[in-house]
Structure 1
């Protein structure tokens, strides 16, 4: 098995993170989702930020994933700032 480096490509709410993960999965990219609040809850600690997640992908898949992530981020910004 080769060593793989993962990089963070998105941070945001659970709903937006899941939307991006689903889009990545449709093109065969398996993302890793890190949820600090859930990890803290499972360990018996609290977390001041609930439902905030980070998405990581393999550096090898970044070229394939970048357009998908950028498109999703643009859509999110458009929803936040409707004209």
Structure 2
């Protein structure tokens, strides 16, 4: 069984990922951003995941991060 100290809190488009990252950093949470599409592009492969990112946070900050992600997603949804 694999254990990790980080949990994914977001999977989606680049623009919303950047907004979430900024909000997390504002409260002192340093997220890890994973961009498979960019990694594949840099390696010379085509990617179907272009513009899709994943955000991971340390498990100690998980509850705060989840609340921020939920709030930012709701704000973006109501703005559209």
Q: 1:70 matched to which residue of 2? A: 70
Q: 2:51 matched to which residue of 1? A: 51
**Aligned pair count?**
78
Q: 1:61 matched to which residue of 2? A: 61
8 Å CA contact 2:9–2:65 kept in 1: the answer is: no
Q: 1:21 matched to which residue of 2? A: 21
Residues 39-48 or 66-75, more deviating: 66-75
Question: Helix, strand or coil for the counterpart of 2:66?
Answer: helix
TM-score (structure 1 length as normaliser): 0.84
Structure 1 residue runs of 4 or more that deviate by more than 6 Å after TM superposition: none
Measure, in 1, the Cα distance between the counterparts of 2:79 and 2:39.
29
Question: Helix, strand or coil for the counterpart of 2:50?
Answer: coil
Kindly report the root-mean-square deviation, in angstroms, between the aligned alpha carbons of the 2 structures.
1.6
Q: 1:42 matched to which residue of 2? A: 42
Bigger-Rg structure (1/2): 1
TM-score (structure 2 length as normaliser): 0.87
